[in-house]
Amino acid sequence: MYNIFKMNSGIRVVVENINYVNSVSVGLWVKNGSRNENISENGISHFVEHMFFKGTKKRSAFNIAECIEEVGGQINAFTGKESTCFYVKALDSHLDLALDVISDMLFNSKFLPEDINKEKSVITEEINMNEDSPEDVLFDVYAKAAWGDDSLSYPILGTIESVKSFSRQQIVEYIGTHYIPENCVISICGKVDLNNIKNLMEKYFGNWRSSSIKPVVYSKPEFLRNHFFKKKSIEQLHLNLGIPGIEMGHDDLYPALVLNNILGGGASSILFQKIREEKSLCYSIYSYISSFNNTGVINIYTGLNPKYVYDAISIIMEEIYNFIKKGIDEERLRKTKEQIKGNYILGLESTTSRMFSNGKSVLFLNKVRTPEEIMNKIDRIDSDKLKEVMDKTFGKGVINSAFVGENIDTDMVENLLDEYRNPFHSNHSLNI
C-alpha cells in the first residue's frame, strides 16, 4: 500500500506499508548531485553528504552512528550524478529514532572548520582510491567522452583541487540553495503505522522552510562522438563503448532492458557467450543501461589483454550488427521477459531496495510505479516495440568510447570504431 502526500513546506513524502516485516527503511532524497554543480564547485554535493555525518548540535559524529547501530540498525548515504540519499534501516519500533537522526543531521549539522579540513583529507584519499580502480577511472573518462563539458560529465567526487578549495561559507550557502523542501522527498518503507506518519513528519520536518525556491533544471546534453584514452600502468586494458540510450522515466526503458539483457546482460548473453566462452578473450564482459534526465546511454564494458582489443572490438561490432539484423525470436523474448521480471521482483525483497525505488521515482517522476504496473509494461513488449527501440539505440551503433590502460595503438582503435560508425543502417554485412 502506497501513500504519497505533500507537506505545507513543499517536501513530498512516500510511504509503503508492508505489514509482514519487522523493519523500516527511511531515506531523505535530495535532487542534487554532481550534475547540479558548476566546474569550480565540482564535488561539493559529495562533500556535503560527508559533512552531515560530522556532528550536530546534540550529537557528535560518533553518537550519530552509535545511536543507530546500538539498536541493530544501519545508517549510510550516497551521492550520484543527480541525487543524494541519506538513509537508515532499523526495526520498525525505531522509526521515530531514524527520523530524529536524519532531521538532526539535516537541520543541526555544525560544519566546524576543523571537521571540514579533516574531511578534505578523507575525500582526497577517496579520490586517490578511485584512481587505483581502473573501472572507476574508466567511468569518469567515458563520461567526459560522451558529454564533454556538460555537468553530467563531472566526477561525483570532484577533484583534489576543487575539494581543497571548499570553504565553510561556500558549503553552507550551497546547502541553503539546494537542500530545500521543494527539492526533497522522504521515502519510508516497512512496517509503518499510517495513522501516525503525518504526525511524525510534522514533528521532524514541519517547520522546514526555504528562503527561496530554486527549481532544478536539467540540460539536454549532446551525445558526442569522442574516443578517449587514459594511460595507466596496469595489466589489462579496460574499455567502455557507448551507444545512445533512453532517458529516465521513458517507457522505452523496458524494451531497452530486454535488448540489453539479451546482448550483454548476463552469462547467457550473446557477448558473454561469444567473447568469453567461445573466443576466450576476456574474463568479464557485459552491457548496462544508464538513464538520466533528458539523456541515456547503453555501455558495453570489458577488461582484457591489450593485444586482444582489436579482435574484441571487431567481434562486438559484428555481434551488434547481427543482433540488429536477426532480431529477437518469440521464444527468446518470452524467456527474457520472465528473467527481467524475476530479477526485478527479487530485487524488491528488502525494505531498503523498495525505499530506494519509491524515493527516486517520486523525486524525479512525482509518482510511484507499482510492481504490478511494471510487470504489465514488461509483458506488453512485443517484436514491433523491440524493433522500434532497437533502431533508436543499438541501431545507431557505437558513438563514443573510453579506454584505460597501456600498450594500445589509439589511432588504430579510433579508425576501427570510426570505420563501422554507420554500417548498422546499410544492407551489407560488416567486413570483419
Active site residue ranges:
49
CA torsion through residues 377, 382, 388, 394, sign: positive
State how beta strands 400-405 and 227-231 pair.
parallel
- Residue 134 CA to residue 402 CA, distance in Å, equals 11
Phi and psi (nearest 5°) for 146? -80, -40
Beta bridge partners of 23: 91
CA torsion through residues 269, 275, 279, 284, sign: negative
- Residue 240 CA to residue 246 CA, distance in Å, equals 18
Contact status, residue 341 vs residue 375, Cβ threshold 8 Å:
yes
Cβ of 62: how many Cβ atoms within 10 Å? 9
Look up residue 286 and give its three cell numbers. Answer: 557485459
| Burial environment of residue 331 by CB neighbours within 10 A (0 to 12, 13 to 18, 19 or more) | exposed
**Which string of DSSP letters, residue by residue, matches 171-190?**
HHHHHHHHS-GGGEEEEEEE
Cα–chain center distance at 166: 25
Beta bridge partners of 241: 300, 401
Closest CA relative to residue 421, chosen from 400, 393, 392, 390 = 400
256: left (phi over 0), alpha (psi -120 to 50) or beta: alpha
Longest dimension (CA), the chain: 70
Cα–chain center distance at 221: 17
Phi and psi (nearest 5°) for 218? -100, 145
